[in-house]
Structure 1
């Protein structure tokens, strides 16, 4: 759950019983032998699983721990991307829009109890939360930020924690939103996505985890996900969702295929397109969509843009549209220095060349 990147479709019917039964622990295809050897030798620390799919077919899958295929892996902030998917479904269901003001959707008590009331806070939209660009002072990458996620976990009501934050100040050395690309000032904020989860469940009038199961997971054949919850019982949209490696593949494949799965348009194609388009500049090497990192990956003489679900420890789901591929890497490198660098090197030095 803590932080995300700090340094850098096959029909669903075929993704259920037959494919889930495969363990893929046999000898790897020759082109992935070196990658598997490097992982087994500890070159990338504690990698727990790799799945590579191309043209909707698994071409390599291996589990490096004793948990195997059925383990629900805590992929930390990759959960945020799932929240973006659920927002798209709520929009498709006519329950809200990207321009909906979040405090119009949340229970009225949120506004009534709000500290630091400000008309600019009342104007915060769903899209502001999807793009990590709301105007409240919230930055997980700044330990002094009032909205840092570690402070949120110390209180009972995580959504009110977000609602009570003051408006961000922009001193002369910090670009103002109006002067930033896409008109947005990006600051990574877990509390905002936690709040988005409450916004979604308020809009659809159904608990977030139940809505996710009915509208997203059941159609994809994803069973028994392991949600984390706030002290008040809100399913945490900001991180910690436990999913199998193959479940993560299904989610990535869904977006690689433009929102289609099982012969149906599960998520509107326009929402997928907007989600994977640059909406804010996060860093020099990454733009940001709707809770998707858009990683710029050097590869040979070119640069690939890889929409990425990413979580602490280097857990990641990479979409590679040019290669019609999805790569899932799970890890337990939570206490390693620069864990995302291990994942990035595994991707660029071993897996991409094998494709």
Structure 2
């Protein structure tokens, strides 16, 4: 019986190897730039290539998400001088998804404080916080706490013993979440001390000792509610969301029903970009003033040093990124999971990155890497 060989010929083997090598060399999902589609939400769109962007660089975000370099990213949206130039959704994200941006909400609370001041509901940032809550029972009254101002809360530099980065802290946010009355919890926090390795305010940059405190941002939102006599969500709709054409949003409330100004608000990615554009354009949206330019200027001014590599405005982060070899300061709304709205006002740049990498150690680093290594390097 004649045997039939099933071994491939040498030439066919070479062709197979060559094909495999080519497949390995090609990206698993080669990103190809496409300009965002025009919608009826007020955002004009533009072709990034026509504006001088390096579109091949911009599109690599799609490759890196496809190959697993970046994980759990759900959207990347980029605006250049008020025009959307990039928009892509991943991992179940979509244009209609309400993204839980966690602590990025804090920056929104700062905007609402400015709107309340503009309307005369709050005098200014020097207003004493405890004066808004005469009905709250204080277990251990302390005149030092009564001197805490709204600005202390906006800059994360009050004298409360409150540190979300320290699980032993009395004011750690996880302790607040399980309490029956969050406002009582926060206003009854003890006065902090200073370990030998912690700089006191007089020895700190900007004269403030920073300590990340979600309870403080929550109380700032509660001040807005008390001052405006409106739920935080209603006031936000009136002064921000409606003027920006934002129609879909979800606000959380505390166990006693106070608007959660410290985190968890949900917005669509394009709407987050509108909030960023508002900051980038000194409080204007499509030429119309929504927030006072003076307030946005104060909000985006460093008031405390958060870390060696970051400063803090009024509930906004200020990071430093290289652009063309020059260290450049960039403002950001930031939240757990790697959710960011990056704003570079002098360049007219707004970048939204939403992510569901909640409580993952890589979350913030990878979102910042997308902005630093892709968006900024793709700039004209």
TM-score (norm 2): 0.84
In structure 2, distance between residues paired with 1:18 and 1:259:
16
1:203-242 aligned at under 5 Å gives the runs 203-242=227-266
2:127 to 68, 91, 100: 100
Identify unmatched segments of 5+ residues in structure 1: 1-13, 23-27
| 2:271 counterpart SS class | helix
1:39-96 Cα shifts (integer Å, max 9, x gaps): 2222111110000111111111000133410110000000000000000000101111
| 2:249 counterpart SS class | coil
Structure 1 residue 347: deviation in Å? 1.2
Residue equivalent to 1:40 = 66
Residue equivalent to 2:98 = 72
Residue equivalent to 1:51 = 77
Q: Is the 8 A contact 2:281 2:345 kept in 1?
A: no
Structure 1 residue 259: deviation in Å? 0.5
| Alignment of 1:149 onto 2:173 | yes
Residue equivalent to 2:315 = 291
1:80-119 aligned at under 5 Å gives the runs 80-96=106-122, 97-106=124-133, 108-110=134-136, 113-119=137-143
| 2:319 counterpart SS class | strand
Q: Is the 8 A contact 1:51 1:329 kept in 2?
A: yes
Q: Is the 8 A contact 2:283 2:291 kept in 1?
A: yes
1:262-321 Cα shifts (integer Å, max 9, x gaps): 432211111101111110000111100000000111334211111000000110000123
Greater relative contact order: 1 or 2 (C-alpha under 8 angstroms, separation 6 or more)?
1
Q: Is the 8 A contact 1:29 1:60 kept in 2?
A: no
1:91-138 Cα shifts (integer Å, max 9, x gaps): 1011111011111122x122xx11232111011111111000110100
Residue equivalent to 1:188 = 212
In structure 2, distance between residues paired with 1:35 and 1:249:
18
1:159 to 183, 189, 213: 183
| Alignment of 1:253 onto 2:277 | yes
Residue equivalent to 2:202 = 178
Q: Is the 8 A contact 1:137 1:147 kept in 2?
A: yes
Q: Is the 8 A contact 1:15 1:250 kept in 2?
A: no
In structure 2, distance between residues paired with 1:295 and 1:172:
27
Q: Is the 8 A contact 1:115 1:163 kept in 2?
A: no
In structure 2, distance between residues paired with 1:290 and 1:305:
16
In structure 1, distance between residues paired with 2:155 and 2:76:
28
In structure 1, distance between residues paired with 2:250 and 2:305:
32
Structure with bigger gyration radius:
2
Pairwise CA RMSD? 2.0
Structure 1 residue 173: deviation in Å? 2.8
| 1:334 counterpart SS class | coil
1:336 to 353, 360, 374: 360
In structure 2, distance between residues paired with 1:147 and 1:255:
30
| 1:298 counterpart SS class | strand
Q: Is the 8 A contact 2:44 2:83 kept in 1?
A: no
> How many correspondences in the alignment?
335
Residue equivalent to 2:164 = 140
| 2:320 counterpart SS class | strand
In structure 2, distance between residues paired with 1:40 and 1:322:
32
Residue equivalent to 1:316 = 340
Structure 1 residue 226: deviation in Å? 0.7
| 2:157 counterpart SS class | coil
In structure 2, distance between residues paired with 1:284 and 1:67:
34
